[in-house]
Amino acid sequence: MKLLADIGGTNARFALQSGDGFDDIEVLACADYPTLGDAMQAYLAKAAARGLAADSVRHAAIAIANPVEDDRVSMTNHHWSFSIEALRRQQGLETLLVVNDFAALAMSLPHLAAEGRERIGGGIDLPNRPIGLIGPGTGLGVSGVIPAAGRWFALAGEGGHVSFAPSTREEVAILETLWSEYGHVSAERLLSGMGMELIHWALTGKRLDAPSITGAAIDGSDADCVKTVETFCSILGSVAGNVALTLGATGGMYIGGGIVPRLGKMFTESSFRARFEDKGRLSPYLARIPTYLITEQYPALRGVSAMLSDHIAALQ
């Protein structure tokens, strides 16, 4: 029995795995637990109460919304901070693998079933080519997977923090407004839950929370909110195109994260794809790259499971 987790800035998704599938999945609110260890223990206790052999867990893997460079992990978008080795000992584990969450999500992409993704626009499917990934949520995740020697290798980076580059005069005005507030303006500053709020503020001068903005945009009750979401989708298209160019992601560009799937037709009918392709002389290159919205509910768990299996095999 293995313990798997996908930890974001807002929610922690846990699962147990004894074979190919997941035996138990539960989503816990990060804010409800002082530490990651407390959340892990709470999940395992609940799983045991449901009759699962949670006490047999000896190997675990955690995908977390943060850089993972050494033993100490301090989350960017939440207050949890921990030592990987200390957490392993505290939980009584033989193996504890901690990886970047978008590297884990990227590792799932070559294995997504057709029903686990929705195609956005045109493009040509090419197997065994680099695949790109971008996902707005609490923050902005960026990653990809590269094929080599019959295997896939995930990239763990912090591409969400690259400097935002406007593509229209209106976006220049948004950038100037945010410059005065923050100095450096990253892509994440706009392509996240907080980013949705900042775009709305820069366009209207009004403060409104992200759920209210998307809700009013989807039901069409507020023109300013509709404009905000349209701008968000356009900027996402430009940044996704930048990632695809940087990685040479001719195997496809995928959109994950918690925000876009909630937008429904507002996203699929937006200018996302047009802005993705709008790269001057390289527009024909981008037009050949397919873009997909990830619709599978827990893809990062599939990816981190594959990474844990590879890690255990390498230790033997």
CA 216 from centroid of its chain's CA atoms: 24
71 shares a domain with 195:
no
Residue 57's pLDDT is: 93
For residue 305, being part of any structural domain is answered with no
**Residue % of the chain over a pLDDT of 90:** 78
Indicate if 123 and 264 belong to the same structural domain.
Answer: yes
Q: pLDDT digit string (tens) for 137-178?
A: 888 989 999 999 888 998 878 899 999 999 999 999 999 999
Instruction: Give the CATH number for residue 145.
Output: 3.40.367.20
Do residues 80 and 118 share a domain? no
Same domain, yes or no: 139 and 73: no
- Do 222 and 245 belong to one domain? yes
- Looking up residue 33, the CATH number of its domain turns out to be 3.30.420.40
User: Is 178 in contact with 189 (CB distance < 8 Å)?
Assistant: yes
Domain end position, chosen among 99, 132, 157: 99
Its pTM stands at: 0.85
Q: Are residues 89 and 122 in the same domain?
A: no
Confirm whether 308 is domain-assigned: no
Q: Contact at 8 Å (CB) between 74 and 81?
A: yes
Write down which residue in 57, 75, 99 finishes a domain: 99
Co-location of 136 and 276 in the same domain: yes
For the stretch 199-236, pLDDT in tens is 999 999 999 999 999 999 999 999 999 999 999 999 99
Say if residue 144 is in the same domain as residue 182: yes
Confidence at 23, pLDDT banded by 50, 70, 90? confident
Axis crossing angle, helix 223-247 with helix 169-182, rounded to the nearest 10: 90
Euclidean distance between CA atoms 12 and 7, whole angstroms: 4
pLDDT for 96 equals 97
Q: How many CB atoms lie within 10 A of CB 47?
A: 23
Q: What is the pLDDT of residues 230-277, one digit of tens each?
A: 999 999 999 999 999 999 999 999 999 889 999 999 999 999 999 999
> What domain range includes position 241?
113-294
User: Are 70 and 122 part of one and the same domain?
Assistant: no
Answer with the one of 65, 99, 133 that is the final residue of a domain: 99
Query: For the CA atoms of 211, 293, 79, 7, what is the dihedral angle to 10 degrees?
Result: 130
Spatial distance between the Cα atoms of 273 and 291, rounded to a whole number of angstroms: 8
3-state secondary structure of 59: strand
47 lies in a domain?
Answer: yes
Q: pLDDT-derived band of residue 52, with 50, 70 and 90 as boundaries?
A: confident
- pLDDT score of 90: 95
Counted domains in the chain: 2
118 with 190, same domain: the answer is yes
Q: Which of 220-229, 282-291, 295-304 has the lowest mean pLDDT?
A: 295-304
